[in-house]
Structure 1
């Protein structure tokens, strides 16, 4: 998987920590700000009118395996982007979750398990190509946002038009995961995923076992379609092989990896609706909800966690 490694994987602690060089060009602050703005806008839309929408959460992983979260109000784009950039410059891996958390159910250095979820506003498909747990078949829908997590590996975000409660999202996430054939990170509401524009510092296991370079890898935004889906549309989406692939740009949208706009081709049955909240360079972000800032405090001491990839 391209996000933080899961507990129990073999050989996780069998290798010494690797030195982490300066991120250099692998850190792109403009991409970080754009990605954070897109995610905040997606949360704003999905949680419109919610009385207690919860907080968005970054997960920061250090070279020593420590983890600590940072929580932000929906709409605090500048605060979250600045923190993500600061942590990346400190040579940490930076992730974000596709959910909001209940601030009364998360404490200190914990991210919180499923009961801490306030709402799920997106599902993310972890489409790796360097292990045996990549996509088993082309996606039947067009992702809302595509991020290069490392090399040819991808994080494919699917935004919801209306946020879901934790238990309902857990069931739908399992359906999506079974449909696309990826590992347990896909559709998992508590799984953090790479903040685009921040460097990917590989774990020692991935360097020694998968042959990854120890140098930090850039994680650019590859495509933004701005699509949104209802939960029912995702439930009714055709199974693998019943629609043309959306992974590599067959449905249009700006494919930044190729530097050109792909042809539209045939649209599959579940073509996404488009929303106006996604930020573009030089454009304002409409409809953001500012519900106050989170007071600054001491960085909690992170308990030992699985080192991210």
Structure 2
């Protein structure tokens, strides 16, 4: 994923089409001076529709569409002819897209399947022609309905990455390096904090042609849930991961404390994240000997399956994949 092309948040003004007006008309032809009502109904206004597309991975194509406007329905005509419906505006979005109203923050839908459709902003109904209002006591109604107006609203689309494993850790913990080694992904890697500014996805090959998807989430810092660092901008991507892999470097001052800080940020953002399965990988372990590893093992959280790894020397990566696969299945 190239960083400038990954867009996971867009806001736009959505306007559905107005319904066509019903027709006020009476049947007229030679030798029939006073035919009955034959005004047709108006067509409905166009909807604004979201459709899931498994081939998309970003909202980039919607970034510059500030106004999405569906067309209005066509008015009804004589001879009981119904007007055509307005053309729908269909927005294709990647799987994992959440739509909500900007003013109320109400969640409208989540698109999780290829081809799944949701009417985001429904078009106005077409008005009834005067034929509809004819009765035995009112055989020549002199009125027809106007079409319903369309709806105007501001919509926010947010993308939450769909991945099996989400990498959670402080900046410069080695998440991008690990992803680049175990998959074909090529995230930006450098020796300074916040190298990763956008999430990266990689497909990790496993035994017998099996695989799973791993997501490198930009680093979390203490206070992220309140907006510090990169804030909660990327915490939402963790919500869609089946398993959370905490990555803490071996040269950390206190591995347990760092883990607790990370866990607390997830708790403050969304307590339900703590219900997900969690694993711990101690990265940069090529600098440790067996004695230091044994000493560090005593400091690790007892309830958490842990493994020592080094993406540089490939140490422990097979064991890590086995541990991930076992917890995923």
The two structures have a TM-score, normalised by structure 1, of: 0.20
Q: Which is bigger in relative contact order (C-alpha 8 A, separation at least 6)?
A: 1
Find the structure with the greater CA-based Rg: 2
